[in-house]
Amino acid sequence: MALEPVLQGQFDKAAAQCLSTGVRGAFVEGCTYGVASALIYLAEALLFYVGAVLMARGTYTYLQMVQTLNLVVFTVTIGSQLMAFTQKIAKSVQATKDLNDLLKLNVDSTSEAQGVLRPRIEGDLVFSDVSFSYPSRPGAPVLNNLSMRIEDGECVAIVGSSGCGKSTIAAMLQRLYEPDSGAISIGTNELRATDVQHLREHVAVVSQNPNLFDASIRENIAYGRVGDDMTEAEVVRAAKAANVHDFIVSLPQGYDTLVGENASLISGGQAQRLQIARALARPAKVLILDECTSALDPANQSAVLDTIRGAKVGRTTIMITHKLAVMQMCDRILVVEDGEVREQGTYESLMERKGVFSKLANGGEWMSE
Ligand SMILES: Nc1ncnc2c1ncn2[C@@H]1O[C@H](COP(=O)(O)OP(=O)(O)OP(=O)(O)O)[C@@H](O)[C@H]1O
How many whole angstroms separate alpha carbon 14 and alpha carbon 126? 49
Q: Best of 137, 167, 336 to mutate for ligand 1, by most ligand atoms within 8 A of CB?
A: 167
End-to-end CA distance of the chain: 26
What DSSP state is assigned to residue 141? -
Reported pTM: 0.73
Q: What is the ipTM of this complex?
A: 0.97
Q: Return the pLDDT at 348.
A: 93
Among protein residues, the one with the nearest Cα to ligand 1's atom 31 is 163
Q: Which atom of ligand 1 is nearest to the CA of 322?
A: 25
Q: Which atom of ligand 1 is nearest to the CA of 168?
A: 18
Burial 130-151 (b: 16+ CB within 10 A, else e): bbbbeeeeeeebbbeebebebe
- Distances, alpha carbon 10 to alpha carbons 41, 173, 220, in Å: 47, 38, 33
The CA 163 to ligand 1 mean position distance, Å, reads: 5
Q: Which atom of ligand 1 is nearest to the CA of 170?
A: 18
How many whole angstroms separate alpha carbon 347 and alpha carbon 334? 10
Residue 95: partners with Cβ closer than 8 Å, 6 or more residues away: none
What DSSP state is assigned to residue 180? S
Please, are residues 220 and 212 in contact by the beta-carbon 8 Å criterion?
Answer: yes
From 35-39, 253-257, 338-342, 364-368, the region with the lowest mean pLDDT? 364-368
Bridge partners of 340, per DSSP, are 337
How many whole angstroms separate alpha carbon 106 and alpha carbon 289? 29
- Return the SS3 of 194: strand
How many whole angstroms separate alpha carbon 261 and alpha carbon 332? 37
The CA 204 to ligand 1 mean position distance, Å, reads: 20
Pocket of ligand 1 (CB under 6 A): 134, 136-137, 142, 160, 162-168
Q: Which tens digits make up the pLDDT trace of 351-366?
A: 999 999 999 988 877 7
Q: Best of 168, 335, 338, 360 to mutate for ligand 1, by most ligand atoms within 8 A of CB?
A: 168
The CA 270 to ligand 1 mean position distance, Å, reads: 27
Q: Stretch 279-301: mean pLDDT, rounded?
A: 84
pLDDT bin (cut points 50, 70, 90) of residue 228 is low
How many whole angstroms separate alpha carbon 124 and alpha carbon 118? 17
The CA 169 to ligand 1 mean position distance, Å, reads: 10
Percent of the chain at pLDDT exceeding 70: 94
